[in-house]
Chains A and B, each alone.
Chain A
Amino acid sequence: MSAKQRVDAQPAFLLHSRPYSETSLVLDVFSRDYGRVALLARGARRPRSALRGVLIGFQGLELGWFGGGEVKTLARAEWQGGQPLLAGRGLLLGYYLNELLVRLLPREDGHPLLFDAYASALAALAGGAGDAPELRRFEQILLREIGYGLSLAHDAEGAAVDGQLRYRYLVERGPIPVRGDEGMPSLSGKTLLDMAADDYRDPCTQAESKGLMRQLLAHYLNGKPLQSRRVFMELQEF
């Protein structure tokens, strides 16, 4: 797990940070090849620290670190930029992505595919419009990368999903067709097929896929609600 590392120029994003001692920070970063890593950023909270304008969440960074323990030492940090800072609602959705990673992704396990999906989800959030497909794609890749990939094209019995039928999605088994109205939440076969084909143009697909992902994520989060979601909901109440 925590073998001695010396890493340089590693693409990464800052997920979260907390103060450590008088002047430092412990960072939770998501790097492309090493996954989530805890880094001690010495002196990052000093008033004139050069790290202040660099260690910004949702912005592409290039980090170097060394060390062997659970917490490595940040050696170098460079801001890569290339996209505007997140703003408004996009920021809250960004926090949602970060919380998913912090809660679900084990430390020091590289997931380059997931990293790229995270980067493009952030780019979509920074761009403003049409973020739903990027979020769903990210959630799907996240589950697949941690070993809980969805079954979308085939039902739990192995039969091809029928776009005309309605289904109930059983966690870790897959969709099963719903005969008649059983009073349980269900979704259309078309939504499953759209998700398999990565096609989120249909508003019904957008709504149903969102519901499905929420149900599955709640399961893998052990029913413990996401703080960022709670804050987001409370903000809508004003």
Chain B
Amino acid sequence: MVEALRCLPGVGPKSAQRMAYHLLQHDRHGAKRLAAALSGALEVLHHCSRCNNFTEQEICERCLSSRRDPSQLCVIEMPVDLNSMELTHAYNGLYYVLMGRLSPLDGVGPRELAFERLLQRAGDGLVKEVILATNYTNEGEATAHYLSEMLRARGIRVSRIARGVPVGGELEFTDAATVAQALIERRDY
């Protein structure tokens, strides 16, 4: 059981042991619920055939919604990023969740991320613009770069979310790398 718990991100041998003891000694009811929830989720949850996010349906509710604009497709790394985008209330298009990012040293490439599926999704004829919202890390940038080349080669308009000094952020308290890149990517004003 300790071994099984260690598959969770950020759980080392010590925390795994703590969790296992807690569940078995003090919270057997909670352990049962956890086991049921896990196997239930595994049975019913799979990837939406359009956005690749987790869903219980073949196509998730968001992808089927008639209130979302099908001409915009926003590409994000992980499901949590979708929440960040939705919190903006500034985006009404659809999403595609990559479930990762290119990570060459870890052996994560276009096959592992199923780029082919995204290219098919973006080529449905309705998508007019793909907005790349992968993280502004080196890996997120590499992912965005190659996706943009592949999508453009297929005649699809591509944009990338901007980066820079945070709103309400003062230069004095912004890290030097961010200020440097904001300076390099400055625009006419």
Contacts and interface: CB of A to CB of B under 8 A. Distances in A.
Contacts of A79: 175-177
A179 interface: no
Contacts of A102: 105
Interface string B145-187: 1100110010000000000000000000011111011001000
20 contacts: A21-B10, A54-B177, A56-B177, A84-B181, A86-B138, A89-B145, A92-B104, A95-B104, A95-B105, A98-B105, A99-B104, A227-B109, A228-B104, A230-B109, A231-B107, A231-B108, A231-B109, A234-B111, A235-B109, A238-B149
Nearest 9 CB-CB pairs, A to B? A53-B175, A231-B109, A228-B104, A95-B104, A231-B104, A227-B107, A91-B142, A88-B145, A22-B10
A115 interface: no
Contacts of B110: 231, 234-235, 237-238
Contacts of A96: 104
B106 A227 contact: yes
B141 A87 contact: yes
Contacts, number: 92
A95 B153 CA distance: 25
Nearest to B180: A81
A2 to B, nearest CB: 21
Query: Which of A50, A79, A85, A87 lies at the interface centre, i.e. has the most chain B CB atoms within 10 A of its CB?
Result: A85
Contact of B15 (A21, A58, A85): A21
Nearest to A24: B10
Interface in A43-73: 45, 50, 52-54, 56-59
A19 interface: yes
Contact of B181 (A52, A85, A227): A85
Contact of A50 (B12, B105, B175): B175
Interface string A18-32: 011111000000000
Contact of A59 (B107, B141, B177): B177
Contact of B115 (A84, A89, A238): A238
Interface of A: 16, 19-23, 45, 50, 52-54, 56-59, 79, 81, 84-89, 91-92, 94-96, 98-99, 102, 227-228, 230-232, 234-235, 237-238
Given A86-B138, A98-B105, A238 B150 contact: yes
Main secondary structure of the interface of B (DSSP, over half): helix
Contacts of B177: 53-54, 56, 59, 79, 81, 85
Contacts of A235: 109-110, 146
Nearest to B9: A19
A54 B174 CA distance: 11
Given A91-B142, A231-B102, 17 more contacts: A22-B15, A50-B175, A52-B175, A53-B175, A56-B177, A58-B138, A59-B177, A79-B175, A81-B177, A81-B180, A91-B138, A95-B105, A99-B104, A228-B104, A231-B110, A234-B110, A238-B149
A54 to B, nearest CB: 6
Given A85-B138, A238-B110, A53 B178 contact: yes
Interface in B93-146: 102, 104-111, 115, 119, 137-138, 141-142, 145-146
B106 A21 contact: no
B176 A81 contact: yes
B138 A57 contact: yes
A95 B180 CA distance: 22
Contacts of B184: 84
